[in-house]
Amino acid sequence: MFRQNLIAFTTIIRKEWIRIIRIWLQTLIPPVITMALYFLIFGELVGKQIGKIGEFTYIQFIVPGLIMMSVITNAYGNVVSSFFGTKWQKNIEELLVSPTSSYTIVLGYTFGGVVRGIAVGTLVTLTSLFFTELKIHNLFIILVTVLLTSILFSLGGFLNSLFAKKFDDVTIIPTFVLTPLTYLGGVFYSVKNLPEFWQAVSFANPILYMVNAFRYGFLGVSDVNIYFALLFLAVLSTALFLFCVRLMEKGYGIRN
């Protein structure tokens, strides 16, 4: 049974990777171009007017947040589009009639999203080197943060695809929830510069912890406690994973 599920798990990931590579002009290149424009406009043009934030130039400060933003959107988008497409085309029935467990299905699609999120994040990181010099303060924190974040938002995309009943439902959460939270998650500013009320509001935004943990890995500075941020990501990812598995076992959004 374990071997069967392992084969199913690796097959789903391989399928997702082939899909990403087959349409690489849609999956890999657009986010890199978008982030390059952010680096150019906000980092180079606007950043020169802003000056430094602490010991760092503005572009050095925002690069980790922009890399994380690309990881979040691509991990989420990969899973929500892929799994909803599987539902829409009725391909999910092939998985449901097989001995593949719900845990394996959720893990397979989740790590498919992780692969795309990390692939895009890597490309964006390499692109940022044309605009600024990146120094690594703590590689372990960088790797753990990007892994936990991509897992969390891949699971979020999976959950969205379960609830989605039409293609319009796939875009609602990214447009009206994910994008605002990302822009208000400390990517372009330090929450220490905000009034007390807005600081309190910002600390309720989960993306703030991801961005700051990732920034700490590069710059060694953060507006939040790093260990709390990592624990928060791990607990939230575990809870969301179990919730997705439970919905899969009940057949929510699939069998009705």
Taking 90 as the threshold, does the pLDDT of residue 110 lie above it?
Answer: yes
In the predicted model, what is the mean pLDDT of residues 81-105? 85
Which residue pairs, CB below 8 angstroms and at least 24 apart, start in 168-175? Answer: 170/80, 170/81, 170/84, 173/80, 174/73, 174/76, 174/77, 174/80
Q: Can you give the pTM of this predicted structure?
A: 0.93
Share of the chain above pLDDT 70, in %: 99
User: pLDDT grade, residue 95 (50/70/90)?
Assistant: confident
pLDDT value, residue 121 = 95
Three-state secondary structure call for residue 132: coil
Taking 90 as the threshold, does the pLDDT of residue 179 lie above it?
Answer: no
* Mean pLDDT score of the chain: 90
Q: Which residue has the higher pLDDT, 5 or 107?
A: 107
Taking 60 as the threshold, does the pLDDT of residue 225 lie above it?
Answer: yes
In the predicted model, what is the mean pLDDT of residues 175-181? 86
pLDDT value, residue 238 = 97
Distance CA 160, CA 95 (A): 19
pLDDT value, residue 4 = 83
pLDDT value, residue 128 = 93
pLDDT value, residue 44 = 75
Which tokens is 43 given? 């980092």
In the predicted model, what is the mean pLDDT of residues 111-130? 95
pLDDT value, residue 63 = 93
pLDDT value, residue 21 = 94
Taking 70 as the threshold, does the pLDDT of residue 256 lie above it?
Answer: no
Q: Do 230 and 144 contact (CB within 8 A), yes or no?
A: yes
In the predicted model, what is the mean pLDDT of residues 151-178? 89
Find the helix or strand (DSSP H, E) in which 57 lies.
strand 56-57
- DSSP alpha helices (H): ranges in the chain? 2-22, 24-27, 29-38, 47-50, 58-88, 92-96, 102-128, 139-163, 167-173, 179-183, 196-202, 206-219, 226-250
Which tokens is 121 given? 């994040």
pLDDT value, residue 255 = 65
Residue type, 205: N
pLDDT value, residue 109 = 95
In the predicted model, what is the mean pLDDT of residues 169-174? 84
pLDDT value, residue 88 = 84
Taking 80 as the threshold, does the pLDDT of residue 74 lie above it?
Answer: yes
pLDDT value, residue 107 = 95
In the predicted model, what is the mean pLDDT of residues 195-218? 90
